[in-house]
Structure 1
Amino acid sequence: MSKLDLEWLAVFDEIYKTGSVSKAAERLDMAQAAASTMLNKLRAHFDDRLFARTAQGMQPTPYAQRMLPHVREALAQLEQARGSRASFDPAAARRTFRICMTDISEVVLLPGLLDHLRRTAPGVHIETEIISTASGRRLEDGEVDLAVGFMPQLDAGFYQQTLFMQNFVCLAAQNHPRIGELLTRRRFEAEAHAVISSSGTGHAIVDKTIARLGLARNVVVRLSSFLSVARIVAHTELIVIVPRILGEVLVTQEPVKLLELPFELPSYAVKQHWHERFHADAGSAWLRRTVAQLFGTRTGPALT
């Protein structure tokens, strides 16, 4: 059996994450041919194909699935061993970070982050994915570097940092025939509503509070994201509850208006989350500091 090169394990891990040899090579800043060669050496070393090409990308074999936790544990231990001496120079770095966030954050926060990185870390690239029930596992496995949103389901093993507090407002068309500048409780109950079901946005608070207050709500459409909500509201008589930070952006894009709700909804904390395995990684720590500096000014970041 040939000797095992630790660099091969990093290639294995990235192929597992991305389902692609070319993407793995890009994220490791190496030529695709080099990554392919390392994969072939891994196959020879373990006498297994490890990954099979499918319509969904490079899928792991059962043997590779059993290998994964051991490979990641070895990589994590090596990272921790050198973590105290590692440094990260954003101006010179070439690295891709993957961030879980809500569609709201993609609209409101991501442009500011990308603009900042273009000026201060031009070799740093960002990939995003929408927060889901799998986000906690993906943070733990290192498939995602950071998550930004409302994620109370995360338990032991995760760090979290509050960026800012958020509350809710109502969105209606500017020319709504029955709603002026004041929304009453009676009018809220009488109008037809759009509702968004999106992970990581704190919207479960809305549903629970409305139910507790005994409010009637005529829901005529349920949307999977916030991306179309302003246009729908602007061209219908529907009203919708949205986080204030999103509403403030949407009023600049469509003929809609913000209205204070005629009842009180709890505020919630928008936080960034990461797993303890990568707490000491210099690049991840730099990314977290950058996000906190850009978006944590509303309340001042507080580690919990």
Structure 2
Amino acid sequence: MTTTARPFGRALCAMTTPFTAGLDLDPDGARALAARLVERGCDGLVLNGTTGESPTTSDAEKAALVRAVREAVGPGVPLVAGVGTADTRHTVELARQAEAAGADGLLVTAPYYSRPPQAAVEAHLLRVADATELPVMVYDIPGRTGVRIEPETMLRLAEHPRVVAVKDCAYDLLGSAKVIARTSLAYYSGCEELNLPLYAVGGAGYVSTVANVAPAAMRAVLDAFDAGDTAGAARLNGLTLPLAELMMSSGLPGTVTVKALLGQPVREPLQPADREAVDGLRAALAELEGAGNPA
């Protein structure tokens, strides 16, 4: 069964976690960034993901970030909290903490590094889905976790009433299209170059790192497609690609490139972009804005 359900909206931003100059959590900066992203077209926000530097933020900081952003955007904007870890018990604790802090959904990866078999991956994800009343967005990103959530596993996970969505970074359009065709799971692209292709085969939208700096430009692609202007959507998508490629495929983590453009510091082990990289990123963003497509 296919669906056009979008439980968290269409245009979601994988939001950075602002830090102060001393590298403490910056709740005021988070409130300001969240409000700006929503104002410029983001339907929802994903917090405490990889772009949000979740490996280097404490559990208390993760909860504080959710509370701060909720204060800024109010109850009407979906907030999805990243809770994935390599430890099922810790992931369950983070899920319950996120629910208490005001999250509307959970982003859950496969356990990373240990590379468990599919039965164990499925059991881990179901344990988290059973831990709270929040809907779950399964995050399939084998390039980071070291293990794929296979399409057959997704089909079984889709039977759970709280497993409602997928953030898809598996780079397997065939596999994703097969699951979309057979389930009601809302598929969100997690790779900017696949936003439009996945949307065209029934995806729900995207969770974008690039949207931190170009939310309107990323959303415009989906708006054009929904209006029936497929040629216009392709053209607008093409305008975003140079910036997306530079931000996501230049050898620097997306967190680093986003924060270079936003003027925010990163926590170690990440290091800030050098001047040459910053200049190139700024030029690409300016080119996108100059193409008549406000970022």
Shared fold, TM over 0.5: no
Larger C-alpha radius of gyration, 1 or 2? 1
TM-score range, shorter chain: under 0.3
Instruction: Compare the two structures and name the one with the higher strand fraction.
Output: 1
* Structure with more contact order per residue of length (Cα contacts < 8 Å, sep ≥ 6): 1
